[in-house]
Amino acid sequence: MLKAIIVILLIGVLISLFSGLGFLFKDSDITGSKRTLTALGIRITLAGTLLAVTCYGLYSGELQLNAPWHGR
């Protein structure tokens, strides 16, 4: 379940990234448009939530490091 939440948050970050890029191109000639700034705020919130969920998963033991260089 935790892995599904991480994937959903990652997809949300990517959607916010590309929507912000689209808003940046579309609103480049409009002064006072805040759609790019809103997309940035949403992306930062999603990235912070993604970081918190990942840290929780590592702390609780639901996620584990399986890298070959990670000492066991």
Tokens read off for 56? 């929780």
**Which residue pairs from 55-63 have beta carbons closer than 8 angstroms and sit at least 24 positions apart in sequence?**
56/2, 57/2, 57/6, 62/2, 63/2, 63/3
Crossing angle, helix 2-26 and helix 35-60, to 10 degrees?
A: 160
Report domain extents, the chain.
2-60
- pTM of the complete model: 0.81
Residues 11-68 pLDDT 10s: 999 999 999 999 888 887 888 788 888 999 999 999 999 999 999 999 998 988 887 8
Select from 36, 14, 17 the least CA-distant residue to 25: 36
